[in-house]
């Protein structure tokens, strides 16, 4: 497609991406923008990042850019660093030969067909065949401003369909994360997943358990913290992809009207609103919400079967739930600590007598715990809703109102006024007995 047919302008392309393209071309290499950035430009959207592909090897790329670092084991990539912006540059990928499992191929697959190492270089045509979805196999050249569409990506965009290149089952087995990407693109771009692409999703969902937990953590951030988390969650549930990600939560979501489902959807809707308003969000709050009801269920079971106190059962259950979840999705310690704080404060917030209420207000994670309580109150109603209303008034009240609220609460709970302390009489000094 020449410049007149695709409408992509250099004004919409990152200056740093253009620098990379021009330098690679000047050094005698082919270089193209590829993937999501070309797709988004074709859709009239502003890309978040720009990826480049070239026939230069990673070592040759590094030789051209002093601000380059090579990353990756599964497939070697070059990151060209311009301050906060990183332009990712990949070498054209070639076809992996499963019959040749030696070092010369630099490719290796598992028994399930998953590619474990993929450093097989090839031509631009081979690279296009190795792309995942048809609309991601479009290449923009700054040399002549043309777009080369290898897999009818423009047609997929026109038909609003997410469609895999090649045999969907083979492609999912090569990299099961493609199943998550299919869902994410369908929701993000308001498209439908083509029937052949959608058919293997449920039968092959279990393959996600082969993906390293650290990689799945990064993928879930894209799924749930990009502004369409609620719709993405529903789509993952519909296609059977939640169970391999959250095996402790999935069994509680069979009824779409259940409190567990409503709680998750409300938290995700609130998160979407914050993301789309450019407000700060943290994965800790989301994970605390998705694991809350599995935690409650496990704690109650421990309390009943092991005869533990509520406090001990809750602490043990929190450790168990987080440990099991990290077997599937890694949760960095900086987030798991916050998750525990939010959970523990749910048990402390109902205890408000005396100085406890003021101590809770000064807790670093009070606001997150209060927001969490608020969603629980909206979901379950009853005492939780009353407790949420009380904390809403108390945290914003004047000292006089706060004192009155605590006094009213004490009377309501039947605690009565505080008993006056009786002063102890001073002990008599020795020798004073007969005085």
Kindly list the catalytic residues: 49, 51, 132
Q: Where are the alpha helices (DSSP H) in 175-291?
A: 177-188, 195-198, 201-204, 213-224, 229-238, 259-276, 283-290
Residue 29: HSE in the Cβ half-sphere, 13 Å Cα cutoff: 25
CA distance 185 to 236: 12
CA distance 336 to 332: 6
SS3 100: coil
Do strands 77-82 and 192-193 pair parallel, antiparallel, or not at all (unpaired)? unpaired
Contact call for residues 107 and 115 (beta carbons, < 8 A): yes
Contact call for residues 17 and 7 (beta carbons, < 8 A): no
Who contacts 52 (Cβ-Cβ below 8 Å, separation ≥6)?
Answer: 17, 20, 21, 24, 31, 32, 33, 34, 87, 88, 89, 90
**H-helix or E-strand containing 91?**
strand 85-91
**In the structure, how many helices (H) and strands (E) does the chain have?**
21, 11
CB atoms within 10 A of CB 373: 21
CA distance 117 to 76: 9
SS3 199: coil
CA distance 297 to 286: 18
Contact call for residues 29 and 55 (beta carbons, < 8 A): yes
Distances 398 to 84, 359, 394, 404 between C-alpha atoms, Å: 44, 16, 8, 10
Contact call for residues 126 and 96 (beta carbons, < 8 A): no
């Amino acid at each position: 497609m020449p410049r007149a047919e695709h409408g992509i302008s250099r004004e919409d392309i990152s200056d740093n991406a253009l620098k990379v393209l021009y330098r690679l071309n000047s050094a005698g290499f082919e270089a193209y923008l590829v993937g999501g950035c070309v797709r988004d430009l074709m859709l009239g959207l502003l890309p978040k990042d720009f990826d480049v592909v070239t026939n230069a090897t990673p070592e040759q790329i590094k030789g051209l850019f002093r601000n380059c670092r090579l990353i990756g084991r599964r497939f070697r990539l070059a990151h060209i660093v311009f301050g906060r912006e990183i332009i990712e540059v990949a070498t054209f990928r070639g076809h992996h030969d499963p019959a040749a499992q030696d070092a010369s191929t630099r490719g290796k697959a598992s028994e399930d067909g998953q590619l474990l190492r993929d450093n097989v270089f090839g031509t631009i045509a081979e690279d296009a065949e190795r792309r995942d979805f048809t609309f991601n196999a479009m290449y923009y050249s700054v040399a002549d401003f043309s777009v080369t569409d290898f897999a009818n990506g423009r047609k997929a965009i026109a038909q609003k369909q997410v469609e895999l290149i090649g045999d969907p089952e083979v492609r999912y087995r090569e990299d099961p994360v493609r199943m998550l990407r299919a869902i994410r693109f369908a929701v993000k771009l308001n498209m439908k997943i083509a029937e052949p692409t959608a058919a293997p999703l449920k039968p092959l969902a279990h393959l996600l358990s082969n993906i390293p937990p650290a990689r799945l953590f990064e993928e879930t951030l894209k799924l749930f913290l990009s502004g369409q988390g609620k719709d993405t969650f529903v789509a993952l549930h519909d296609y059977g992809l939640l169970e391999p990600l959250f095996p402790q939560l999935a069994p509680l979501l069979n009824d779409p009207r259940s409190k567990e489902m409503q709680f998750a959807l409300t938290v995700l809707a609130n998160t979407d609103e914050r993301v789309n308003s450019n407000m700060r969000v943290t994965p800790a709050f989301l994970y605390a919400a998705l694991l809350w009801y599995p935690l409650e269920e496990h704690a109650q079971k421990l309390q009943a079967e092991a005869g533990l106190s509520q406090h001990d059962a809750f602490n043990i259950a929190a450790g168990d739930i987080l440990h099991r979840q990290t077997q599937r999705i890694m949760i960095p310690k900086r987030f798991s600590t916050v998750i525990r704080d939010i959970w523990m404060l749910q048990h402390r917030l109902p205890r408000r007598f005396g100085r406890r209420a003021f101590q809770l207000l000064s807790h670093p994670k009070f606001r997150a715990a209060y927001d969490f309580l608020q969603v629980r109150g909206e979901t379950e109603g009853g005492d939780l809703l009353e407790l949420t209303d009380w904390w809403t008034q108390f945290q914003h009240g004047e000292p006089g109102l706060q004192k009155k609220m605590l006094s009213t609460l004490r009377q309501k709970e039947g605690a009565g006024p505080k008993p006056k302390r009786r002063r102890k009489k001073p002990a008599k000094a020795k020798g004073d007995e007969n005085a």
